[in-house]
Structure 1
């Protein structure tokens, strides 16, 4: 696939027929963390069929038709939670992660929400650095569902 085709993309709601591609993407994106965490990261255990059916999942599709990234968005009280954001390793470094974060911001604004939230594992330090570079602030650290998580927020006002 040429880089030109890969740079053309759209973010759209996920469809049931995207499930296999989503699960493959998530497994590829999080596989490097299995050894570091000593177990599968939470996103590898999620029910993506359920997220798709609930309208909570969006995919980033390239101009060539490949699913290169995904977002799982959950509406909270006064905020939108990015429950998962992932880019296929073969497509990393092309700005797709930034595009997905912007899509989440756009969706929050569309819903009249002024805050985004997300969390990552404390050992996923590269994620923490990325979020801080993009205007996110750390709000807390705590154990949840057997994982040591770092929570972030971003004000959209």
Structure 2
């Protein structure tokens, strides 16, 4: 994957890089703070050791703008899918397309690594559900107040790859047909 991908904005450039060990506290703080209301509603306390174990188990990527870290996306293989296990954007930089861009990067990474789908979980009251739906994710099921969603890439009949990787972001047209391929971001 090219580390100089661009966002929909003309001048803003984001990239992904492996998170540094020293970034664990910032990633934990972002995750703990942004998920606090969801955990409080469910009576679930923050578990630092669980987060730190997941930091060891997941692929942790920093979302970078220039030289500044703007958030983290954390991935993990789950069978034939690549799972987005955590996506956090610094609150000061939300609303700039960083989350959308990061999800499309995960979709691109899944396709390039041979995964047929991307999975994620989200609380039903989380406004990010609308973003995931816009990007082509569909609800699998809801379990224990968590919505399980997936995105599947379209396969070309001959190559077993995304049928039209440069058609742009997934979107629904008036016909209701979706383009399930990630945007070309190179």
Query: TM-score, normalization: structure 1?
Result: 0.78
In structure 2, the CA distance between the partners of 1:149 and 1:33, relative to structure 1 (3 Å rule), is closer
How many residues are matched? 144
CA contact (8 A) 2:100 2:131 kept: no
**Map of 1:24-103 to 2, 5 A cutoff?**
24-35=29-40, 37-40=41-44, 45=47, 47-54=50-57, 56-65=59-68, 67-103=69-105
Tell me, which stretches of 5 or more residues in structure 1 are unaligned? 1-5
**Map of 1:132-147 to 2, 5 A cutoff?**
132-143=133-144
Rg larger in structure: 2
Over aligned residues, Cα RMSD in angstroms? Answer: 2.5
Higher helix share: 1
CA contact (8 A) 1:23 1:48 kept: yes
Higher strand share: 1
Structure with higher RCO (Cα < 8 A, 6+ apart): 1
Tell me, which stretches of 5 or more residues in structure 2 are unaligned? 1-10, 155-186
Query: TM-score, normalization: structure 2?
Result: 0.67
